[in-house]
Structure 1
Amino acid sequence: MKLKVQTLDAKAAGDIELNDEIFGLEPRADILFRVVNWQLANRRAPARAARERSDVARTGKKFGRQKGGGTARHGDRRAPIFVGGGKAHGPRARTFEQSLNKKVRVLGLKNALSAKAKDGKLIVLDSLELKDAKTKALQGQLGKLGFGKTALFIDGDAVDANFRLASANLKAVNVLPAIGANVYDILNHDTLVLTRAAVEKLEARFNG
């Protein structure tokens, strides 16, 4: 698959040949669903358990008479009815982590990249280098490129420092290094923008 390369100023910067085994697959919704579900489940924090009757540090001594007190019968202060007592039927500690085969995770990322390429929402830039970290200037440059409402920029080993600073106040723009590319973030943005370095890193990641 051949794609045109642009600069941040929306000027032509040659062509790039994309690997069809990574960017030319027929996207499978079932694979994408499994990987996104796995990602979101593993992002969840574990649920904390409430202290139940046996966990509360209060006396177990019977504090009143069985009869004649004018109140209900109670054996100790740990009962849920009392302030400071144990929680009745409280939440139990649990984690939400899931496991997913590496082959499925790799296939999911390939499918996400292929889905963007198939929909025409994949753009390749020569680089993200900026002379100055100016948000207003960057916003004007991105307007010329004609992105959708949201865009995910993926660079090589590290995102250009000036570009990261300039884009920090743009709500519709997110940046990641190539090592952080993932299915959920790719699908969660209208446009995927890769640099030449990002394409090389991704292809080496799959081939390695």
Structure 2
Amino acid sequence: MKVQVTTLDAGKAGEIELNDAVFGVEPRADILHRVVTWQLEKRRGTARAARERSDVARTGKKFGKQKGGGTARHGDRRAPIFIGGGKAHGPRVRDFDPSLNKKVRALGLRMALSSKARDGQLIVVENLDLEGEAKTKAVRTQLAGLNLGKNALVIDGDALSVGFARASSNLGQIDLLPAVGANVYDILNHETLVLTRAAVEKLESRFNG
């Protein structure tokens, strides 16, 4: 499919042919759901497990008489009430490391890109070079003509534009990623997807390579 390429200030900069194998895949909700769930589970950190009573290496011998000692009738030293004993109801390790086939992950990313292109929420810009000084006010003024909606994810090529990254860092509705960091969750979590020409080439070579 052909898409109009614009500049940051909404000027025309030609056209680009998008690969249908990357931007023309029919989205499937089940695949997108699997990939997003996998991403969110991979983010979760596991708690460090505490040693409970059965994990502590201390004597199990009863160290006092049952009666006549004038104290409680304790058993072994692994009890949680003793220093060095096991922790009662401590944190346990939970497995948040799911697996998902690489082909399914790649398919999910292609479907996320395709859904943005199909719904008209994909904008391709020539580059992220700023004219003049890299200031937040100037970036906000230039991006106003692109009609980005509530929020936008901007994906650049191999390296991010330093000036644009610095100037857009104070804009809460703009998030910036390199092409290697493109992922399903962030793409679907933003109303508009903005790709540079370099990002399009990088993404297409990533799947065709």
TM-score by length of 1: 0.90
The residue number in structure 2 matching 1:31 is 31
1:164 aligns to 2:171 (yes or no): no
1:16 aligns to 2:16 (yes or no): yes
CA change 1:64–1:117 in 2 (3 A) is same
- Deviation of residue 74 (structure 1)? 1.0
1:193 corresponding residue in structure 2: 194
State the shift of 1:93 in Å. 2.5
Q: Is 2:68 the partner of 1:50?
A: no
Distance apart, 1:73 and its partner CA: 1.9
Structure 2 distance, partners of 1:206, 1:85, is 55
Q: Secondary structure at the match of 1:142?
A: helix
Alignment partners' CA distance in 2, 1:165 and 1:57: 55
- Aligned-partner Cα distance in 1 for 2:115–2:19: 14
How many Å separate the matches in 2 of 1:50 and 1:148?
48
Aligned-partner residue type, residue 51 of structure 1:
R
2:137 equivalent in structure 1: 136
Q: Which residue of 2 aligns with 1:115?
A: 115
2:208 maps to 207
**Structure 1 residues 117, 81: CA separation in 2 closer, same or farther (over 3 Å shift)?**
same
Identity rate of aligned residues, in percent? 73
Q: CA RMSD in A?
A: 2.0
Structure 2: stretches of 5+ with no match in the other structure? none
Deviates more, 1:40-49 or 1:149-158: 40-49
| Structure 1 gaps, min length 5 | none
Counterpart contact for 1:5–1:123, Cα < 8 Å? yes
Could you tell which deviates more after superposition, 190-199 or 125-134? Answer: 125-134
Q: Quote the Cα distance in structure 1 between the aligned partners of 2:81 and 2:164.
A: 59
